[in-house]
Amino acid sequence: MSEQQHGHEAAQKAGFETRAIHAGYEPDPATGAVIPPIYATSTYKQDGVGGLRGGYEYSRSGNPTRTALEGNIAALEEGERGFAFASGLAAEDTLVRALCAPGDHVVVPDDAYGGTYRLFDKVERAWGLEHSSAAVSDVDAVRAAIRPGETTLVWVETPTNPLLNIGDIEALAAVAHEAGALLVVDNTFASPYLQQPLTLGADVVVHSTTKYCGGHSDVVGGALVVRDLEVAERVGFHQNAMGAVAGPFDSWLVLRGLKTLGVRMDRHCDNAERVVEFLAGHPDVTQVIYPGLEEHPGHAVASRQMKRYGGMVSFRVAGGEQQALGVCERAEVFTLGESLGGVESLIEHPGRMTHASVAGTDLEVPADLVRLSVGIETVDDLLADLDRALGARA
C-alpha cells in the first residue's frame, strides 16, 4: 500500500465528515496542492529497473488519484481497504470472481437491483455460479436459501430498490457466517454516511458510486470495501487481473463528491421527510413507502442500523398505472429519469422503467408505483411540484 493510501493517519480515526474531507490524501509534498491532481498517465518513470516511486508502475495496477479515492472510501466505511472500479457492476463482477468459483452458490435478494440480478442470472450463471433468491427482510428465508458447503456469498441490499425493504445486517452476518459464507452488502442506497455495514458484521461493502457517493449525476463508478486482508488480496489481484478500474478523472469526481456526502445526505433526508409528510396527507396517495415511517415493516431495524432513513421515497397512487405515469410526466422540478442519488430530484415509474425487465417474474413491482430520488433543491419547490403533478388527475 502506498504512503498516500495510509495518508492522514489522524483523519482515519476522526469523525465522519473529517474523514470524508481528508482521508486518503496528504497535500502534495512538492507543491502543497490540497486536492489530488488528476494523474492522467498510463505509466511511471522508474529509477532504475524496478525502482518504483510510491509503488506505481502502470495505471491499471495503480494510479495516485484512484489511490486517494480508495483510501478515502475505505476510511468512510471503516474497512481495511477500498477498491475503485469503472462501474458498480464492474465492482460486483470482480468481487464475485475473486471470492467464488464455478460450482459455488450465492444467495441474492429477491428484489435485487435489476442489473445485479441480471449479472448473476445471465453472466455468472453461464460461468457456473448458481444463485437462489430470498427476501432480505426475512432472516429465516435467507437461512433456508443457503446451501451448506456450497454457498460462498450471501448478497444483500438494504434498503432495497424500489420497495425500500430493510435487511438486518447483524442478523444476516450471523446467518452467513454460521454457514461459512461471507456477507456482502450493497450499500448504495444508504451511503456510508447513513450506514456502515462492516461495523455490523458484513465482510464486503459494494457501492455504485454513480449514486450518492458521486452525488452529482456526472460519473459512473463502483467501489468495494473489505474488512479482511486476505479478502483484500484476492480482490486486489482480480482488480488488476480483470482491469475494470476507475479512471483518474472518474476517481477525482467521486472523491470530490464524497467530501460533501454528509451535508448532502442530511439535506436529502430533510427533504425526503417533508416529501413523505406531504404525500401521506394527499388524498390520491394510497401508500407511502419510506423506512422512516413507523408502519414500515423494517422501521425498527432501520432505526437501529441507519443514522437516518435516506433520500429515496416510493408511493402508490389511487388512479392506478395511468395516474402513476401521469405524475411522472407532469412533474417538472423532479426530472423524469432513471438513476438516483444526485443533487437533483428524479422521478420514475419502476414498472415501465428501471424494473421493466422483471415484469412477469417474482420481482415485478406494482403498476401504480412511483419512485422518487429526493434531491437537495428548495423543499417547497419539490412539494409544489408534486402537488401540481398529482393534482391534475388523468
Active-site amino acid positions: 60, 113, 186, 211
Look at phi and psi of residue 24 and say left if phi exceeds 0, alpha if psi is from -120 to 50, else beta: left
290 sits near ligand PLP (criterion: CB under 6 A): no
Query: Is position 87 an interface residue for ligand PLP (rule: CB under 6 A)?
Result: yes
Does 188 interact with ligand PLP (rule: CB under 6 A)?
Answer: yes
Long-range contact set of residues 34-38: C-beta below 8 Å, sequence gap at least 24: 35/256, 36/4, 36/64, 36/65, 36/68, 36/252, 36/255, 37/64, 37/65, 38/65, 38/248, 38/249, 38/252
Contact status: 185 vs ligand PLP (CB under 6 A): no
Rounded Cα distance, 74 and 204, in Å: 11
- Binding to ligand PLP by residue 99, rule CB under 6 A? no
Q: Is 109 in the site for ligand PLP (CB under 6 A)?
A: no
Contacting residue, 24, 222, 247, 291, with ligand PLP by CB under 6 A: 222
Q: Which stretch binds ligand PLP (CB under 6 A): 84-92, 139-147, 191-199, 242-250?
A: 84-92
Applying CB under 6 A, the span of 183-191, 305-313, 345-353, 375-383 interacting with ligand PLP comes to: 183-191
Q: Measure the CA–CA gap between 360 and 72, rounded to whole angstroms.
A: 41
d(CA 231, CA 204): 9
7 or 82: CB nearest ligand PLP: 82
> Which of 72, 208, 271, 314 is in the footprint of ligand PLP by CB under 6 A?
208
Distance CA 168, CA 225 (A): 19
291 binds ligand PLP (CB under 6 A): no
**Residue closer to ligand PLP (CB basis): 189 or 278:** 189
Residue 158 binds to ligand PLP (criterion: CB under 6 A)? no
Stretch that binds ligand PLP, among 18-26, 112-120, 246-254, 372-380 (CB under 6 A): 112-120
Q: How far apart are CA 218 and CA 284, in angstroms?
A: 34
Which of 79, 88, 214, 215 is in the footprint of ligand PLP by CB under 6 A? 88
Which of 319, 315, 381 shows the shortest CA–CA distance to 348? 315
Contact 82, 239 (CB under 8 A): no
Whole-number Cα distances in Å, 241 to 60, 96, 98, 298: 9, 14, 10, 40
CA-to-CA distance for 126 and 136, rounded, in angstroms? 25
Stretch that binds ligand PLP, among 46-54, 168-176, 204-212, 255-263 (CB under 6 A): 204-212
Q: Cβ closer to ligand PLP: 161 or 195?
A: 161
In this complex, which beta carbon is closest to ligand PLP, that of residue 310 or of residue 326? Answer: 310
With CB under 6 A, what is the number of residues at the site for ligand PLP?
16
Using Cβ positions, the residue closest to ligand PLP within the complex turns out to be 88
211 binds ligand PLP (CB under 6 A): yes
- Using an 8 Å Cβ cutoff, are 173 and 202 in contact? yes
Q: Which residue among 72, 116, 195, 345 contacts ligand PLP (CB under 6 A)?
A: 116
* Segment lying near ligand PLP (by CB under 6 A), choices 2-10, 75-83, 139-147, 203-211: 203-211
> Taking CB under 6 A as the rule, does residue 145 contact ligand PLP?
no
Q: Which is nearer to ligand PLP, 142 or 379 (CB)?
A: 142
Runs of H (alpha helix) within the chain: 3-6, 9-13, 16-22, 64-76, 88-99, 114-118, 139-145, 169-178, 191-194, 229-242, 248-259, 261-280, 299-305, 320-330, 379-391
Q: Is 312 in the site for ligand PLP (CB under 6 A)?
A: no
Minimum CB distance to ligand PLP, residue 155 (Å) = 10
Q: How far is the CB of 222 from ligand PLP (least distance, A)?
A: 5
Nearest to 191 by CA among 257, 236, 134, 133: 257
- Residue 267 found at the interface with ligand PLP (CB under 6 A): no
Please state the φ and ψ torsions of residue 85, each to the nearest 5 degrees.
-130, 170
Q: Residue 212: how many CB atoms within 10 A of its CB?
A: 29
Can you say whether the dihedral through the CA atoms of 69, 75, 81, 87 is positive or negative? negative
- 186 lines the binding site for ligand PLP (CB under 6 A): yes
Lookup: cell for 200 = 455490523
Interface residues toward ligand PLP, by CB under 6 A:
87-89, 113, 115-116, 157, 161, 186, 188-189, 208, 210-211, 220, 222
